Amino acid sequence: MKNVFDNAKVFDNAKVFNDAQVSGNAWVSENAQISGNAQISGNAQVSGNAGVSGNAQVSGDAQVSGNARVSGNTQIFGDARVSGNAQIFGNARVSGDAQIFGNTRVSGNAGVSGDADILVIGPATSSGRYTTAHKDSVIGLRVNCGCFSGTIDMFEAAIAATHADDPNYLKEYLLFAALIRCKFGLES
């Protein structure tokens, strides 16, 4: 295969498209798809139905599995694990022993390097969605929920507007916001 170098392996139904590369001792298996200019290297593993695209890099001993999507200019490295239905995009960096899983979304200029850098809450009663908060080098703390992505103040304003007619849903999301503020040491 023209896009596979060194001792790297691509097997099962896995595919490598475009200018994507798999090198070193990395392997891609099952139904995983690597596309765009993505690079999988080192001892990295991509498996399941995972997709890595754009200019994303997965290296070191990192693993991407399940239905996870990694795209944009993201970097997944070290012993990081991305699994489930997680989505990592933008300029995000996931490293160290960080584990991103479930329906988590990490975006923007996030830098997640361990458990202290991310919080996942949910699912919410109203929508079944998870709310994710993580450190972001541009806005400080980014909150993602459904199609919302922004600061904690923006999140609180959005939930107040969206759930003004349902006090139970509003209360639940306000508790999510309070937990996020507590976890990351932010004043309300």
pLDDT string in tens for the chain (188-residue length): 679 999 999 999 999 999 999 999 999 999 999 999 999 999 999 999 999 999 999 999 999 999 999 999 999 999 999 999 999 999 999 998 898 988 888 988 888 887 678 888 989 998 888 899 998 888 999 999 988 999 999 999 999 999 999 999 999 999 999 999 998 998 76
CATH 3.40.630.30 fits 1-113, yes or no: no
Q: What is the distance between the terminal CA atoms of the chain, rounded to a whole angstrom? A: 55
Are 172 and 124 in contact by the 8 Å Cβ rule? The answer is: yes
Q: What is the pLDDT of residue 114?
A: 74
- Tell me, rounded to whole angstroms, the distance of Cα 95 from its chain centroid: 11
Residue range(s) in the chain whose domain bears CATH number 2.160.10.10 = 1-113
Q: What is the pLDDT of residue 63?
A: 98
How many CB atoms neighbour CB 143 within 10 A?
27
pTM for the predicted model, two decimal places: 0.76
Q: What is the pLDDT of residue 26?
A: 98
CA distances from 184 to 70, 113, 121, 134, 143 (A): 25, 15, 14, 9, 12
